[in-house]
Amino acid sequence: MDYLPVFLNIKQRNCLIVGGGGVAARKTRLLLRAGAHIHVVSPAISAEFAGLLQQFPSISHNAETFRPDHLQDRVLVIAATHDQATNQAISIAAREAGIPVNVVDNPDLCTFIMPSILDRSPIIVAVSSGGSSPVLARLLRARLEALIPAAYGRLATYAAQFREQVRQHFPHQENRRFFWEKMLQGPFAEMVFAGKDRAARDYLLETLNSSVDQPPVGEVYLVGAGPGDPDLLTFRAMRLMQQADVVIYDRLVAPAILDMVRQDADRIYAGKERNQHTLPQTSINDLLVKLAQEGKRVLRLKGGDPFIFGRGGEEIETLSQHRIPFQVVPGITAASGVASYAGIPLTHRDYAHSCVFVTGHLKDNTVQLDWSALARPNQTIVVYMGLLGVSELCRQLIAHGLPETTPAAIIQQGTTPNQCVLTGTLATLPTIIRDNPLKPPTLIIVGEVVKLRQKLAWFNSTSKSLENTPTYSKHP
């Protein structure tokens, strides 16, 4: 055993990350998951890191080059800079101070190395190949749920002897990764498992020598991540999440889902808070094109379904103009996922023969919708982005002919453990919302079908509901 596996408790402890690029961002996320206080030292930071700082204001950032006094009061340090001299200086200073140090991709400068992690807290499985084959460690982690073939350690050791040769053959990192993925999941691995080392070696070298290191061709996967519960992902979404090189995600994508994306994929936060687009739509479109042209497999991960109020159409229009291959993976849209988990069928033979999805987005402080088309009997209306415009929404629907007593519901963070359902009527919903502040995202459902929730609610969330308050019981 070259390294001793240990699990460190770094909760509330000060940890130092030196570097501000994609790798540093990944390490920061990992340490944050373990509850650390993060201090970052880096003169410049990438867009990804900037997003991270915005998302986690508790991270402190010092825009300087590393000095040994940055190590004061730190219990752990990770160096993720491109500068060898800096990495070396960090390693020396940390050793002198007795602080565990990891220099990314440089085992010689490390006093500890980072494993590949399967996180099923409180159970954590950590896998390490001792630096000999990072790709293998990742593939192994993905397979762990089922079975760990006994011969994997041997495969890592065996593959390590070809690492340098493969690296020289494929200057493009993507091609190198693709090659190893093919080897480590294909006949090469099988031959090693079967003890046919000589045949495995011949196969690997033959494949290597017949491969040309052409610039890799990128691709974009526009994937719907559903409304929040990770169990609602499609199989295809899961598969593409495992093979992407970089993921661009929105605020709506639940952290639990983001955790399921391949661990060493770069993560770029595209924002999309109300009134505050961290990356404007045109920059997102351009970024997708740029990354794909660099040969990356780009996962564009969106909440719900990409084609329902998701601007998915605009994004792939730009891709198609640039002739970039893409595929679209539908997701469960909020209307359908949230309604199911709230126990509200969107159609019903007795109450609703049609269902419309609209956006209640405020434009110039008003909601612009075709009110007479909406205010129809036997129709369910699902309103996305409707929280701010709810008073006008209810007023207009009543003014255009829907009874004041029409049942209405608002659901906070549907399908997640924070799901909360408030029900009332068109007349009472604005007051109910005023008195019970909700956290986004929220979805409004209007129509007779809302009544069915009394019988059909099934999802055990910590939802508070107002069914039995005087407000609702006036309109059973």
Q: Annotation-wise, does 447 bind a ligand?
A: no
Tell me which of 27, 229, 272, 296 is the catalytic residue: 272
Query: Which CB atom, from 262 or from 272, has the smaller least distance to ligand SAH?
Result: 272
Query: Which CB atom, from 155 or from 252, has the smaller least distance to ligand SAH?
Result: 252
Query: Which CB atom, from 22 or from 304, has the smaller least distance to ligand SAH?
Result: 304
Q: State in angstroms the smallest separation of the CB of 329 from ligand SAH.
A: 12
Tell me the angle at which helices 312-321 and 281-293 cross, rounded to the nearest 10 degrees: 40
Q: CB under 6 A: which stretch of 45-53, 197-205, 213-221, 302-310 binds ligand SAH?
A: 302-310
250 is catalytic: yes
423 touches ligand SAH (CB under 6 A):
no
Q: State in angstroms the smallest separation of the CB of 300 from ligand SAH.
A: 12
> From start to end of 112-191, where are the E strands?
116-120, 123-127
Of all residues in this chain, which one has the CB nearest to ligand SAH in the complex? 304
Q: Annotation-wise, does 312 bind a ligand?
A: no
Query: Which CB atom, from 269 or from 384, has the smaller least distance to ligand SAH?
Result: 384
Q: Annotation-wise, does 316 bind a ligand?
A: no
Give dist(CA 154, CA 197) in Å, integer.
10
425 touches ligand SAH (CB under 6 A):
no
Tell me the β-bridge partners of 125: 118
Are the CB atoms for 420 and 462 separated by under 8 Å?
yes
Residue from 18, 45, 339, 443 touching ligand SAH (CB under 6 A): that is 443
Q: Which residues contact 360 (CB under 8 A, 6 or more apart)?
A: 367, 369, 383, 384, 385, 386, 387, 388, 389, 390, 393, 444
- Give the SS3 label for residue 323: coil
Q: Where are the alpha helices (DSSP H) in 352-427?
A: 371-374, 390-399
- Give the SS3 label for residue 425: strand
442 touches ligand SAH (CB under 6 A):
yes
385 touches ligand SAH (CB under 6 A):
yes
Q: Which residues contact 165 (CB under 8 A, 6 or more apart)?
A: 208
Give dist(CA 177, CA 163) in Å, integer.
11
Which pair of tokens denotes residue 308? 């329902």
Q: Annotation-wise, does 264 bind a ligand?
A: no
Residue from 127, 338, 408, 446 touching ligand SAH (CB under 6 A): that is 338
249 touches ligand SAH (CB under 6 A):
no
253 touches ligand SAH (CB under 6 A):
no
Q: Annotation-wise, does 218 bind a ligand?
A: no
- Give the SS3 label for residue 5: coil
Q: State in angstroms the smallest separation of the CB of 384 from ligand SAH.
A: 4
List of long-range contacts for 229-236, beta carbons under 8 Å, 24+ apart: 229/254, 229/337, 229/341, 229/415, 229/416, 230/254, 230/256, 230/257, 230/260, 232/331, 232/332, 232/337, 232/415, 233/257, 233/260, 233/331, 234/329, 234/330, 234/331, 236/329
Tell me which of 229, 250, 266, 451 is the catalytic residue: 250
Residue from 158, 170, 269, 309 touching ligand SAH (CB under 6 A): that is 309
Which pair of tokens denotes residue 395? 């007023």
Which pair of tokens denotes residue 42? 């880096």
| Nearest alpha carbon to residue 259 among 301, 297, 296, 295 | 301
Q: Annotation-wise, does 149 bind a ligand?
A: no
Q: CB under 6 A: which stretch of 1-9, 72-80, 205-213, 308-316 binds ligand SAH?
A: 308-316
CA distances from 23 to 18, 28, 48, 50, 181 (A): 10, 9, 10, 13, 20
Give dist(CA 170, CA 149) in Å, integer.
28
| Nearest alpha carbon to residue 310 among 289, 335, 343 | 335
Q: Annotation-wise, does 308 bind a ligand?
A: yes
Query: Which CB atom, from 41 or from 443, has the smaller least distance to ligand SAH?
Result: 443
Residue from 441, 453, 457, 461 touching ligand SAH (CB under 6 A): that is 441
Which pair of tokens denotes residue 435? 């008195």
Residue from 310, 389, 430, 447 touching ligand SAH (CB under 6 A): that is 310
Residue from 48, 245, 305, 315 touching ligand SAH (CB under 6 A): that is 305
Q: CB under 6 A: which stretch of 20-28, 114-122, 317-325, 413-421 binds ligand SAH?
A: 413-421
Q: Annotation-wise, does 383 bind a ligand?
A: no
Q: Annotation-wise, does 260 bind a ligand?
A: no
Give dist(CA 447, CA 135) in Å, integer.
52
Are the CB atoms for 293 and 261 separated by under 8 Å?
no
Residue from 71, 411, 421, 457 touching ligand SAH (CB under 6 A): that is 411
Reduce the secondary structure of 268-314 to three states and give it as a string. Answer: EECCCECCECCCCHHHHHHHHHHHHHCCCEEEEEECECCCCCCCHHH
Query: Which CB atom, from 415 or from 461, has the smaller least distance to ligand SAH?
Result: 415
> How many residues make contact with ligand SAH (CB under 6 A)?
22
| Site mask for ligand SAH (CB under 6 A), range 315-334, x = bound | ------------------xx
Residues marked active site are found at 250, 272
Instruction: Please enumerate, by residue number, every residue annotated as part of a binding site for NAD(+).
Output: 22-23, 43-44
Residues of the shown chain interacting with ligand SAH in the complex, contacts defined by CB under 6 A: 227-228, 252, 302-305, 308-310, 333-334, 338, 384-385, 411, 413-415, 441-443
Instruction: Please enumerate, by residue number, every residue annotated as part of a binding site for S-adenosyl-L-methionine.
Output: 227, 303-305, 308, 333-334, 385, 414
Instruction: Please enumerate, by residue number, every residue annotated as part of a binding site.
Output: 22-23, 43-44, 227, 303-305, 308, 333-334, 385, 414
